[in-house]
Every structure is written in structure tokens, then in C-alpha cells.
Structure 1
Amino acid sequence: MRKFNIKTQIHSLYVLTTVSYFQIAGASWVALLALRGFSLLEIGMIESIFHVVSSCFEIPSGVVADVFGRKKTMVLSRLVNLVSSIFMIVSVDFWTVAFAIALNAISYNLESGTREALAYDSLKSVRQEEKYNRFASMEMMLYRITNSAATLCAGLALGLGYKKAYAADIFFCLIAVGIACSLKEVQIETTPVGNLQADSRKKGDRLKSVIRESWHFLTMNQRARRIMILNAVIGAISTLVLFFLQAKLPMAGLDKAFLGPALFVMGLGAALGSKVVEYFPKWRYGKYLILSGMGVLFAFGMSFSGNPFLMICGGFIGAFSDDFLEVRTDVILNDMIPSEQRATLISVNSFMFSLVMIVLSTVMGGIM
């Protein structure tokens, strides 16, 4: 493999995360649809469409990254996201919006697991994989801060209107495409199958191999399955608590002008959690589970307090706990997963989350 500057590669991934997730329309899509006259029922159905499409394409997108290359998949992800924003601008009814949201889900799928796999194998190629913990922590922190900053601009997005707001998102999409194109592909060594070496396989053989070997890994590795499921459940509860707080905080008496700042503060909790975990690399995974589970349950309980201050504090702690566990889970799974199936199996982890979200969305909606 041609040598490359690992610092440049990692910094490019950081910048890509920052640019990709600063989307003021994407962060305020629910409010923008409501402003356009869509009912809460229609918005809920569109949210369900996102998760159904995401669950269908999550694993195939990981296979695409493993077979055709992580850099190409990252570029494709940003291009699909750009097309999604264009369709939101030209959308005229429920179904055109639903199509745009479905494209957004596919864009998310293509990126999910691919960035992590490219970062880990880039570090591994220069024998610095022990630094992945730091990358995962920093990358998650940047994601949370950027996404929270975009949420803070909810008022700006509503003021601009959905067309101009999505036009701003397209501008950042174009920058993200350029950054993704600057990334370096990392060639990984794969295990031989029969008498054929991986580097001489045809794409069809490679595709079958990745699927077969990934399935074998999951069926034989009970610990990996358990980690994925537990992480998905805790993450889904935290995500849904924050989602429903958007509606419950104004009902509890919070001035709507302060909703954006409140969501921003809770987002900072997630950013802090993803950074703090970097200082506890030697803990047993069970300790992360217990502490994170307690934090998310606290957030769930505070959401029923009726006190905006307690609800925001609960949301902050829940978000902190979620990312505290998420980053550690990411590091552990990457250490366990073979390089040639890394993106596929990390996508399985996201697939677990989508399945849990589909089930819990309705359950928690009825409870809260």
C-alpha cells in the first residue's frame, strides 16, 4: 500500500464529521415539516419510514463498504445526502418528502460503520490501532457538538424557510463531498478462501465471502452479539427520551424560545460523555453498562417530573451516559472484528439499534 500521512487522514475524518453534521435543515426537519402544514401523524409516519429503510439497508451498506472500498462509500454517502436535500426542496406532498427521507436514511447507512472501519484500519496500517480509542472519543464529541450547534440554529432554519434552509445544507454537502474525495483508501489483508487469495477474487466472490464470514463471526461470537444488543437498547431509550423531550418541555412550561438552547445543552452532555470515556480505558465493560444504564433510567424518570429544569438535567445525564457507553462499545467491537468484515459487522451493530428503535418508538410513545 502506498504510504500516507496518518495524521492528515484522521484530521480529514474529523473535519468530514464536523462539516457533514452541520445541517440546520436536517436538524430541524420536524419543525420545518410542521411549518409546511404536515400533521404530527404524517411526521410520525415519515420518521417510521426512515427507520424501516435504515434497517433494510444498514447491513447491505456495510457489505458495499467492505467489498468496494470505504472511501468510495463515504463519497457516495455524501452524494446521496446531497440528493436527499434537493428532493426536500422540490417536494410537494407526503410521498416526495418520504422519498427524500428514505434517501437520507440510505446516506446514513452508507456512512454508518464505514468511517469507523476506515479510521481503524488506517491506524492499524501504521501499527497505531491503540489510538483508535482517542479517535472514537473525539469523533463522537465532534459529532455531538456539531449536531447540537445545528439544532441551536432551529430558529434560523424556520426563519429562512425550508427551501433556503436545505440550500444551506447542500452547500455543506458539497464541501463534505470534496473532503471525502481527499481521503486515502486503505488496502487490508484478508484471509484466503480455498486456493484463492482475497486480492485476486472477483467482486462476486468477495461479496459472498464477506457475507459468509460475517455470519460465521456473529453466530460463533456470543459476546459480540450481547454487546450489540445491550448497547442498542440503552442507546434507543436515551435517543427516544431526548426526542420526546422536544415535545414535553414546552408542555411543562418551557418557553419555546429556549427549546433550542435546552436541546443544545443536552447535546453537550453527549459530547462530554464521549470525551470523558477516553480517561477510563481499563474498566470492565460491565461497569460501563451499569453506570450508563443508571444514567439513562434517571433521564427517563426525570422526563415525568413536569419540571423543565429537572427534565433538562435528566436529558443531559442521559445523553452523557449514552455516548459514554457508545464510544466504549465502538472500541471493543473494533478490537474483536476482523478487518475484512469490519464495516459489515459495525453496520450490524447499527442494524440492531434500528430494530430496537422501531419497537421502542411505539412503546415509549404510548408511555410518555
Structure 2
Amino acid sequence: MPNLWKLYAIRFFYNLIPAYVIERLFWEERGMTIPMVVMTEILFAVTIVLLEVPTGIIADKWGRKRMIVLSACLGCLEFLILIFSTEFWHFALVVFLAAIGSSAASGAENALLYDSLLQDKSEARFEKYLGRLNAVDIVSTMLAALSGSLLAGKFGFEFNYWLSFGSMIVASVLTLLLKEPKLQAADEEEQAIPLRTYWTESIRFFRLNPSVYVVMMAGMAIGAAITYVDEFWQLYLERVHIPVAAFGLFSAGLFVIRLPGNLLAYKLKDRLSLRTIIVTVTLLSAAGYAYAAWAKDISGIAALFLVCLIAGIVEPLASGYLHHRIDSAMRATIDSFQSLLLNAALIVVGAGFGYFASKLDLVGGFAFLAAFCLAFAVYFVRSSNLEKAV
């Protein structure tokens, strides 16, 4: 499986971004307030909602590799612009390009991985390898965080962005080495699906498989909430008077604690029902966000660690549940719906988080996340499709 090691390497350099550990501080230094950052998050989500499925169709029709290459190249451009950004519209442009890149790669990468495994008759291990890819993300992010905080303290915030630009260039070169897997279709005519059919068949798939929709909604809710831990933990640490030099250690911890969930999710699904896993993760997440909002001290960081620990379990299971039930010819398109739902949720959650954060600072934002997770847990338990889903 030659694509596997290449995907590992691409993920490693794509996430070896020392800029992320001081991102919120850098943006704040350049004049970006919390409401302004939330506005860019909503712009990101809206752009993805509009582009996610079209880019998935393009990936299925003209190649997954091309979309992954496009995503990496846009990543290079983002960091180059950020280095010189001083106005809100500069940051908004970067977020817009990031959304295009994210939508281009989201469905394409999972589809390329699954079909690469399918060629080797190893598709049953998709959750295992997806979990390992996510683990590579985490290890790379951890290394970048540890080094990034030290480098920023010594050379300034901008230096980290130049290093991140270089890492993204390496990732872009590696994407060119990927090989497009052959689709498992009966013949060339079967692969030549009209564009309109991608839409109609995708909608038909979800109508015939309501359980998939329910499970994807779970991944959407947990993923949308954890996004705001990733985005604002730096400001939370600043509010409880943690020095910037220690940010790398905390950042590494917040990411490395997700490793067990990603690496062991495929084993956990054989021991517990998917319903039990999702309900437990959602309720514990609600408790973690509520405590972080209430504590407003170092113990609140411990609560965020708990949220990150359990959040890593859901993505491989939700993605595996989906991919085991879809056809190769439309894999990227249907996978894109998963990202579309996530970013639709980001719009709603972002609006609520931004509103309460503007009124009560981060305390209000995390309190809103707690209420959101609790409300989703109730929805999931009461869902009419729940028994079919698990």
C-alpha cells in the first residue's frame, strides 16, 4: 500500500505547524478580537457548506489526488498571506482559502485511503488506519507546539509562520507522489456518472440509510464543540495567567491525550455498542465544558483535557460507519456530506459561542458548549432512528 506511508508523511508535515501554538495571540496582536475570530470561523463554515459537496464530486469524477494537491498548495498560500496580514479582510481571505483547501481534501483523502485499502483487500481495517493517521496529526501537532512556544518566545510570533510556510511546502511536494487508486467499478461506463447523479444518489443514500445520518450527526456535534477548544485554549490559559513559554507543553498535552481514542477506537467498537460510546462521550463533554466555564482556573484545563481525551474516539468510528456502507465511485462525494454537516454545525455553534463569549468572555462560550452537548445527547437518545443506528 504505497499511498499509506505517503499519507502519513503528508499528514505529518501538513500539521507540523508551530504557528498554531501562538495563533490566537498572533491574531490578537494584529487586532483580531474574539468576535472577529468567530466571524472568520463562521465564514470558514459557510464556505465549506457551499463547496464541500461540489469538491467531493470533483474528487470522485476527476481524481482524489488532484484535490489533495490543491489543498496543500492553498495551505502554502495561506501562511504566506498571514505573515503580512494586518487587517480583518486579510485574515478573512486566509480563512476563505483555508475553507476551499479543507473542502477539497476532506472527502478526497478518506476516499483515497479507503480505496487504497480496498485494492489490498484491507478495507475492514479502515478505522485502524484512519485512527493512525489522526495519531500522526496529533504527534506532529504536539512536536510543533512544544517547539513553537519556545521559538516564539525567542524569535517572535512571525518566525513561527515562516517555519509553518516551509513545512506546508514539503507537504505539497509529497502530495505529488500519491497514486490514484483504481475505482472498484464494473467498467468504465459505470464510472462515468453524470454530475447530477452524484447529488440525487447521495440524497437517496441518506434516505435509505437513516442510521448513517444519525451517526454522522453525532460526529458533527462532538467535532463542532471541540473546535472551539482548539481555537481558544490559548486565551483560556492567558486568562488563568499561564506564561506563553508554557503554552507548548499545554498544547502538546491537549493533542497527545487524543491519541488513545484514535488508536483504540477500532477495538472499542467490538466491546461497546456505538450508542453507548456516543452518549457517554457527549455527556462527559458537556460536563467538561461546564466545569471549565465554572472553574476559571488551572483545574478548568484538566476538564478540557478530559474533553479532548474522549473526543478522539468518535471520528474514526463515525467515518468507518459511513465508508463501510458506500460505493467507491461516490465515496468522496458522500464523505463530503460528513464535513458539510460538521461545518453547518460550526455556523450554529459559532454564533452561540461568539454571542456568549462577547457577553461573558470565554466563560460564556464554554457554558454554551456544555448546553449544546447536553441538548444533542437528549436528541440522540430520543432519535426515532436510534435503534437502527446502533
TM norm. shorter chain > 0.5: yes
Tell whether 2:216 aligns with 1:197: no
Partner of 1:258: 246
Distance across 2 between alignment mates of 1:209 and 1:158: 54
Q: CA deviation at 1:162?
A: 5.4
Q: In structure 2, what residue type is equivalent to 1:86? A: L
| Count of aligned pairs between the two proteins | 355
Q: Is the 8 A contact 2:21 2:248 kept in 1?
A: no
Tell whether 2:82 aligns with 1:88: yes
Distance across 1 between alignment mates of 2:244 and 2:67: 39
Deviates more, 1:63-72 or 1:254-263: 254-263
Distance across 1 between alignment mates of 2:85 and 2:239: 31
Distance across 2 between alignment mates of 1:165 and 1:251: 23
Partner of 1:139: 133
Tell whether 2:330 aligns with 1:341: yes
- From 60, 63, 70, give the equivalent of 2:64: 70
Q: Deviations over 1:80-113 (max 9, x none)?
A: 1112222223434222221122111211111112
Q: Is the 8 A contact 2:65 2:175 kept in 1?
A: yes
Q: Is the 8 A contact 2:254 2:305 kept in 1?
A: yes
After superposition, the CA RMSD in angstroms is 2.3
Q: CA deviation at 1:51?
A: 2.2
Tell whether 2:6 aligns with 1:12: yes
Q: In structure 2, what residue type is equivalent to 1:212? A: T
Distance across 2 between alignment mates of 1:253 and 1:163: 23
Partner of 2:23: 29
TM-score (norm 2): 0.84
Residue pairs, 1:206-285, within 5 angstroms: 206-282=194-270, 283-285=272-274
Sort the Cα spacing of 1:264 and 1:302 in 2 relative to 1 into closer, same or farther, 3 A.
farther
Sort the Cα spacing of 1:191 and 1:217 in 2 relative to 1 into closer, same or farther, 3 A.
farther
Partner of 1:57: 51
Q: Is the 8 A contact 2:30 2:85 kept in 1?
A: no
Sort the Cα spacing of 1:190 and 1:160 in 2 relative to 1 into closer, same or farther, 3 A.
farther
| Runs of at least 5 residues in structure 1 that lack an aligned partner in the other structure | 1-5
Distance across 2 between alignment mates of 1:103 and 1:159: 30
Partner of 2:306: 317
Distance across 2 between alignment mates of 1:329 and 1:144: 19
Q: CA deviation at 1:191?
A: 6.6
Distance across 1 between alignment mates of 2:285 and 2:351: 18
Distance across 2 between alignment mates of 1:159 and 1:352: 41
Q: Is the 8 A contact 1:23 1:172 kept in 2?
A: yes
Partner of 1:166: 161
Secondary structure in structure 1 of the residue aligned to 2:56: helix
| Runs of at least 5 residues in structure 2 that lack an aligned partner in the other structure | 357-363, 366-390
Sort the Cα spacing of 1:224 and 1:171 in 2 relative to 1 into closer, same or farther, 3 A.
same
Q: In structure 2, what residue type is equivalent to 1:76? A: L
Deviates more, 1:113-122 or 1:238-247: 238-247
Distance across 1 between alignment mates of 2:102 and 2:153: 24
Q: Deviations over 1:200-224 (max 9, x none)?
A: x3xxx54223222212212222111
Q: Is the 8 A contact 2:219 2:318 kept in 1?
A: yes
Sort the Cα spacing of 1:253 and 1:25 in 2 relative to 1 into closer, same or farther, 3 A.
closer
Secondary structure in structure 2 of the residue aligned to 1:189: coil
Q: Deviations over 1:156-214 (max 9, x none)?
A: 2465455543322221122112211111101213378xxx8234x3xxx5422322221
Sort the Cα spacing of 1:213 and 1:178 in 2 relative to 1 into closer, same or farther, 3 A.
same
Q: CA deviation at 1:290?
A: 2.1
Distance across 2 between alignment mates of 1:256 and 1:137: 31
Identity %, equivalent residues:
22
Partner of 1:176: 171
Deviates more, 1:146-155 or 1:317-326: 146-155
Q: Is the 8 A contact 1:12 1:179 kept in 2?
A: yes
Sort the Cα spacing of 1:261 and 1:90 in 2 relative to 1 into closer, same or farther, 3 A.
same
Q: In structure 1, what residue type is equivalent to 2:197? A: S
